[in-house]
A and B are shown apart, each in its own frame.
Chain A
Amino acid sequence: MDIERLKKISKKARIDILKMVYNASSGHIGGSFSAIDIMVYLYFQKMNYSKDNYDKPDRDRFILSKGHASAALYTCLAYKGIISENELLSFRKINSILQGHPSRKLTPGVETSTGSLGQGLSFANGVAIGLKLKNIPSKVFVMIGDGEINEGQIWEALMSSIRYKLDNLRIILDYNHLQIDGKIEDIKDPRPTKEKFESFGFATFEMDGHDFKEIDKTFTSADKIKKKPVFIIANTIKGKGVSFMENNVDFHGNPPNKEEFEKALMELSNV
C-alpha cells in the first residue's frame, strides 16, 4: 500500500471539498473531512471499483448513508474518472448533477439516493443479501454517522445484518462526536458504544479513521471474519485538517466566509 499516494489524494480532496462548499455557499465540510480518509482508502486501495466496472454486478459497493458528506463522495467519484472533475464546482447549483445530497438518478457512481438519515444501512443489507443469493463475492461498505444512529431504523437494520449473517458487509461508524445541535453525548449518548454493537453480535473493530495504516489493518482483519457482519468504529475528528474547523460544530453545515476560506485553503495546501 502506497500511503503517500493516499495522503496526496486526501489532501486534494479536502481542498476540493472546501472549494465546492465555499463556491456553493452551502454544504457540509465538517462531516466530509471526518469521513474522507476512509473513503479515499476504500475507493483507491480497498474496493474493486473502477470506471470500467462501476455499473457491473461484481463491483464492490460503497453506500454513503450519511448523505450530507456528499462533497467527499463526489471528489472520489471524480478522481475515479466516473464523473468529470470540472463538474465538482457545480455542486449544489441549479441544473447540476451534483445534488446537495447524493442522487442515484443524477450522478453516475452513486449507489442509491441518501440524505434522509437512517436508511442507507437497510439498503446495504438488501444489497448484501442479494449478492449472497446470486453468489457474487463482492463486498458492501456502508458509512453511517454517529448522529445518524439516533434514528430507530438503524437499530432495525442492525438486527437484520445479524439475522442474515452478512459477512460481506462492513458498517463504518464515523464517530466524530458532533451532530448539528451539539455533542452527540449531550443529545442521545450512545455510550457504551463498542459494547452496544458487540452485544448485537457484530465483529466489532475500532480504528483511527485518519491513519491509513490503521485503516488498512482494520479492513484487512475484517476480511477474515466469517458468518457475521463487521462493525467498525472509526474514531474521527469533525473538520479534520483545518485547525479552526476541527471539533467545531459551526462547520457541520455552514460554509466558511471568505477569510475562513482563505485561511483554510492555506492550511490544507501546506500539509
Chain B
Amino acid sequence: MFKKKSSLRAVYGKELVNLGKKYDDIVVLDADLAKSTKTEFFKKEFPERFFDMGISEADMVVTAAGLASVGFKPFCSSFAVFLTGRVYDQIRNSIAYPSWNVKLISTHAGISVGEDGASHQMLEDIAITRVIPKITILSPSDPNMVSNLMEKIYHYESYLYMRLPRNDVYEIYKKDQDFEIGGSYIHKIGKDITIVATGQLVSYSLMAMLELEKEGIDTGVVDMYTLKPLDTKTLDSIIDISKGILVCEEHSLIGGLFGSIAEYVVRNHPLPIESVSVNDTFGESGKVEELFEKYGLSKESIMKKGKILYDRI
C-alpha cells in the first residue's frame, strides 16, 4: 500500500534550515545530540544562531526561555525521554507558567528507538506533557506533514511540544496536503468502527483498515496528529457515525491519546473504546519490527483489537 519510507527527523532538520533562511529570529538549541536530532543541518548553515548546550537539557530549555524573552523564537531538540521526562519541572515552571514561546521538538519518541533499549525509549511523554496547562502537542505521521507543519509551528505564538520517531516511516500524504495545528486528518469515518491513530501507527492503521473492510467491518481512520488541544469537532463526527473507537498510539496505555479520547468520550457520549498501545511496562532492545510485534503495535495487533471492538458494538 505504501512504498516509500523516509525520516521525519531529517525533514525536521531540513525545514529548520529553510526557516532559518527566511527568518532571522529563529534560534536552535540542542543538548549534544545534534547529529541524531538533525539540528546539525541548522548548525552548519547558521552557527551563530545555534547553541549546543551540552548534555544539560534543563539548562537548555530554560536558556531557550530567556532567548524567547528577548524576542527570539527558540527551537530545542533532544530525545523525547530527555526533552520531557528529565526536564518536566523546567517546562512547567520556566516555559509554560511564565508562558514563553519555546518550541520543544523531540526525536526518538516511542519504542521505535530500537536497540538502545528502555532507557532511551519514551512511552510516557504524551502523558507527562499533556497535563501541563495550555501546552500544544503534535505527533505527525508523515514527512510531508512535518514539512507542512514547520512553518506553522514557527508562526504559532505559544509553547509547543512535537514528538518524532527515530526510524523511517511510510509516506502517506501528497506534498501539497495542508495541515493545521489543532486539527486532524480524516481518511474515512467508519459506520462500524473508526481507528483514531497518531504518529507512525497511522500507516499501520490504514493497512489494517483495508483488511478489516475485507472482513465486512466498515472501518475508518483518522490521523490525530494534534494531541492537544484535542480536535473534539472531529471526535463528535466520529461519535455520530461510528459505533466504536479504536485508539492507536506508540505510547503507554496510560495518559496518552487513549486516555485523552476516553476522558472526552466518557463525559459526553459513552461509546466502546479499545486501544492499541503499550502495556504498563518498559520496552527493551530490539529491531523496530520485533518490538512492534512483541509490544502489540503491529498491523496484526490493530486488526485483532479492531475485531474485539467490533464484537463489543
Contacts and interface: CB of A to CB of B under 8 A. Distances in A.
Contact of A130 (B59, B66, B97): B66
Interface string A127-159: 111110110100000000000000011001101
Contact of A111 (B60, B63, B69, B97): B69
Interface stretch (A12-20, A36-44, A112-120, A247-255): A112-120
A160 B64 CA distance: 12
Given A105-B99, A129-B63, A153 B58 contact: yes
Interface in B95-133: 97-100
Nearest to A131: B70
Contacts of B66: 112, 122-130
B98 A104 contact: yes
Interface in A18-33: none
B74 to A, nearest CB: 8
Nearest to B96: A113
Given A123-B62, A153-B62, A157-B59, A113 B93 contact: yes
Interface stretch (B48-56, B211-219, B264-272, B288-296): B48-56
Q: Which of B56, B66, B72, B98 has the most CB of A within 10 A?
A: B66
B276 interface: no
> Which secondary structure dominates where chain A touches chain B?
helix
A34 interface: no
A112 B59 contact: no
Interface string B32-54: 00000000000000001101011
Contacts of B235: none
Contacts of B65: 112, 122-123, 126
A116 B97 CA distance: 11
A258 to B, nearest CB: 34
A131 B69 CA distance: 10
B70 A123 contact: no
Contacts of B72: 130, 133
A130 B67 contact: yes
Contact of A122 (B54, B59, B89): B59
Contacts of A124: 66
A81 interface: no
A133 B63 CA distance: 14
A249 B98 CA distance: 30
Contact of A160 (B27, B63, B98): B63
A159 B54 contact: yes
A130 B71 contact: yes
A126 B64 contact: yes
A179 interface: no
B94 A134 contact: no
A129 B67 contact: yes
B90 interface: yes
A76 to B, nearest CB: 19
A180 to B, nearest CB: 18
Interface in B64-83: 64-72, 74
Given A122-B63, A129-B66, A134 B97 contact: no
A182 interface: no
Contacts of B48: 133
Nearest to B49: A133
Contacts of A156: 53-54, 56, 58-59
Nearest to A151: B58
A56 B146 CA distance: 35
8 contacts: A57-B70, A57-B71, A122-B66, A130-B66, A136-B70, A156-B53, A159-B56, A160-B56
Interface of B: 27, 48-49, 51, 53-54, 56, 58-60, 62-72, 74, 89-90, 92-94, 97-100
10 A-B pairs closest in CB distance: A126-B66, A130-B70, A122-B62, A156-B56, A156-B59, A104-B98, A113-B98, A126-B63, A116-B93, A123-B66
